[in-house]
Amino acid sequence: MTATLKAHQPGYSLSSRAVQFKGFALQILLFDIDGTLLNSGGAGQRAMERALETQYGITKPTEGISTAGRTDRAITVDMLNFHGVGDQIDATWKNFLAAYIQELPHTMSECDGIVLPGVPDLLEKLASLDDVELGLLTGNFREGARCKLEHFDLWKYFDFGGYGDIHPDRDDVARDALAVVHERFGSEIHPNQVWVIGDTAADVKCGRAIEANVIGVGTGNVPRQSLIDAKPDWFFEDFSELDAFLELVSRS
């Protein structure tokens, strides 16, 4: 497989960055969750709706609110503002978050969620490599991320990352994740050693914000073309092409 892959091949390149490796050793892979590693079957939204109804008496809170690729903080604030209770955010945030985390395990069991194709084998293989570290870059609240991944026995692969608890802007979550990377692995870690992997244009954008390599994967609920138009450095239909993915991240 060549450094620049053709469009009909798994993992084909969408940018000139595909041939700009510089021989670094350690590779840091930061995965999105929803639409990338798993599909929760709507469990997160259902848990959020129940928590909002419990805390604020809001019914059908997610109607008309965009969610794909956004942080849980941004989604929740938008919903509260839309329903006229935005002035209660600071005073009630901890109670809302606790209610959401309490509901999520139940909704994960109720909904028909799945792990996406190739993910278990990919994570197991990557976790076995000495020169690869796995982290998260997700819009989920940290405890929400833990709950979703634990439900499918995937949390064990991740012990650092950036989460959607504080920032409305996913780019800031990416900067937080990069700061954690530098704290854990050294400030000399170069952007070419960092990979952002996700299923939406927002994943591409936040990867660009930290100058990381970006891999798009077409397993989310957004139109495939919208992800390709965002120009990730590489694109995979899914993670079933394990060898192609491993070859890509091991070329450094």
Whether residue 43 is predicted with pLDDT greater than 60 in this model: the reply is: yes
Query: What percent of the chain clears pLDDT 70, i.e. is strictly above it?
Result: 90
Hey, what's the torsion of the CAs at 116, 122, 139, 158, to 10 degrees? 130
Report, as an integer, the average pLDDT of 196-201: 98
The per-residue pLDDT for 69 is: 83
Cα(111)–Cα(178) distance, integer angstroms: 33
The per-residue pLDDT for 6 is: 34
User: Tens digits of per-residue pLDDT, 167-180?
Assistant: 999 999 999 999 99
Q: How sure is the predictor about 252, in pLDDT bands with cuts at 50, 70 and 90?
A: low
Around Cβ 160, how many Cβ atoms within 10 Å?
16
User: Tens digits of per-residue pLDDT, 199-240?
Assistant: 999 999 999 999 999 999 999 999 999 999 999 999 999 999
Whether residue 162 is predicted with pLDDT greater than 90 in this model: the reply is: yes
The per-residue pLDDT for 147 is: 98
The per-residue pLDDT for 15 is: 52
Cα(22)–Cα(33) distance, integer angstroms: 28
Q: What are the tokens at 65?
A: 């609110």
**Cα 39 to chain centroid, rounded:** 12
The answer to whether the beta carbons of residues 219 and 238 sit under 8 Å apart is yes
Report, as an integer, the average pLDDT of 89-109: 93
Higher local confidence (pLDDT), 80 or 27: 27
Higher local confidence (pLDDT), 120 or 89: 120
CATH 3.40.50.1000 at 12-40+114-249, yes or no: yes
The answer to whether the beta carbons of residues 170 and 208 sit under 8 Å apart is no
Whether residue 54 is predicted with pLDDT greater than 80 in this model: the reply is: yes
The per-residue pLDDT for 58 is: 86
Residue-range domain boundaries for the chain: 12-40+114-249, 43-110
CA distances 51 to 54, 88, 115, 137, Å, are: 5, 14, 25, 24
- In the three-class reduction of DSSP (H, G, I as helix; E, B as strand; rest coil), residue 96 is classed as helix
